[in-house]
Structure 1
């Protein structure tokens, strides 16, 4: 069986000097290898092909029969690594807490311990007939969330 650490090491070698980063490396028991990469400006198919060929050049098909898939992190899929938060600052995101509460808003700030989302909140001001929408910054700690994902907007 091909080791996940071996594949990750090969991917990291290819990434040196490039602005791409690893989102996930997965190797199933039947040697199906899935590598997900990302980039601040998106992932180009030519780079996925280049990485795929690089991985194949480092693995020996005579020793192990494997299936290889290299692609970008799926749009609309939950973030898996901190760098995905950084590249989506200023974008609409959805956050689902472990307790089931869901928030949507703009990803405002990110650091290693927490992140901030600016969400719209209805507030009824004194003397006003209707509530109005105001921006509210909500701070999240990574341990309390089930997922965060980029929201696709067709505005």
Structure 2
């Protein structure tokens, strides 16, 4: 799988030159269709996709191997996959599913091992009738997260 090694090396060079961009996924099919999904600390522009595409395409030899190349950005509806994506979304509202629970809250911190969500909830008063609004927090390890998506509000 020499093609994959070459593409990985070229992507690494592209990300070293523009260190605000990073790789989310790289897929190469048996018929040499290369699909690269990137993200960026400040988002991804069409120019960023073109830059990465050119960096790969212009340094691969079509005489050696025929291929097709697609470079896209992580879509707004795509789940977060790596810690760097969580870090860039601090302050935004997330919907996070674990094996047994579902959380919706503001992402207030993201480390290399876990995230911290914060939200308000209505709970019964400890004494008497009625409800009171309380601040809730959850610290979730990445390993416990089944899916996490940024909630888009209009």
**TM-score calculated relative to the size of structure 1:** 0.89
SS of residue in 2 equivalent to 1:115:
strand
Query: What is the distance in 2 between the residues matched to 1:49 and 1:128?
Result: 62
The equivalent of 1:78 in structure 2 is: 79
RMSD: 1.7
Query: What is the distance in 2 between the residues matched to 1:128 and 1:66?
Result: 70
**Greater Cα offset, 111-120 or 86-95:** 111-120
The equivalent of 2:14 in structure 1 is: 14
Query: What is the distance in 2 between the residues matched to 1:118 and 1:90?
Result: 10
How many aligned positions are there? 153
Query: What is the distance in 2 between the residues matched to 1:131 and 1:27?
Result: 54
CA separation of 1:47 and 1:37: change in aligned 2, threshold 3 A: same
The equivalent of 1:35 in structure 2 is: 36
Query: What is the distance in 1 between the residues matched to 2:36 and 2:95?
Result: 24
Query: What is the distance in 2 between the residues matched to 1:133 and 1:27?
Result: 50
SS of residue in 1 equivalent to 2:12:
helix
Query: What is the distance in 2 between the residues matched to 1:26 and 1:2?
Result: 14
**Contact 1:2 1:31 (C-alpha < 8 Å) held by counterparts:** no
Q: How much does 1:130 deviate?
A: 2.9
Summarize deviations over 1:71-104 as a string: whole Å, max 9, x none. 11111211121100100000011101023x2111
**Contact 1:116 1:137 (C-alpha < 8 Å) held by counterparts:** yes
Q: How much does 1:121 deviate?
A: 2.2
The equivalent of 2:56 in structure 1 is: 55
SS of residue in 1 equivalent to 2:9:
helix
**Contact 1:2 1:64 (C-alpha < 8 Å) held by counterparts:** no
**TM-score calculated relative to the size of structure 2:** 0.90
The equivalent of 2:88 in structure 1 is: 87
* Structure 2 unpaired stretches of 5+: none
SS of residue in 2 equivalent to 1:58:
coil
CA separation of 1:54 and 1:145: change in aligned 2, threshold 3 A: same
Query: What is the distance in 1 between the residues matched to 2:77 and 2:132?
Result: 29
Query: What is the distance in 2 between the residues matched to 1:79 and 1:73?
Result: 9
**Greater Cα offset, 24-33 or 84-93:** 24-33
